[in-house]
Amino acid sequence: MPNITKESNIQTVITTFEMTPGTCQDLLDALTDAYAQFISKQPGFIGAGLHVNDAQTRIANYSQWQRREDFQAMLRSEEMRARNRKIHELCRSFEPVMYDVVECFD
């Protein structure tokens, strides 16, 4: 389960996807399958969440990894490269960006 705290040394990745309302559910299904069948089983995976905006034109994905290298190894795997090609067909764009948590508020 993701845990947002600035005291942690984990790698946070936020990925945004842009798509049409007509492909939102298909993209969400592809992402859910990728997490359930592959990503969540990779070394260093901690947790993730998928968020959809009201207009169904954007999905935001928040994931956490033990190390930056764990996330990069998952992305470079043959299976994820194949999945990302299919995911790319369902959206206008997507971009994973690595972040460090610098502050948290309750």
Residue 92 domain boundaries: 11-99
User: Domain for residue 3, yes or no?
Assistant: no
The CA distance from 69 to 11, in Å, is: 9
CATH of the domain at 70: 3.30.70.100
Q: What's the number of domains the chain is made of? A: 1
- Model-wide pTM > 0.85: yes
Question: In this structure, what token pair is assigned to residue 102?
Answer: 């610098």
User: Domain for residue 46, yes or no?
Assistant: yes
Which DSSP string corresponds to 60-88? EEEEEES-HHHHHHHHHSHHHHHHHHHHH
Please report, in tens digits, the pLDDT of each residue of the chain (106 residues total). Answer: 667 777 778 899 999 999 999 999 999 999 999 999 999 999 999 999 999 999 999 999 999 999 999 999 999 999 999 999 999 999 999 999 999 888 888 7
Phi, psi of 87 (to 5 degrees): -60, -40
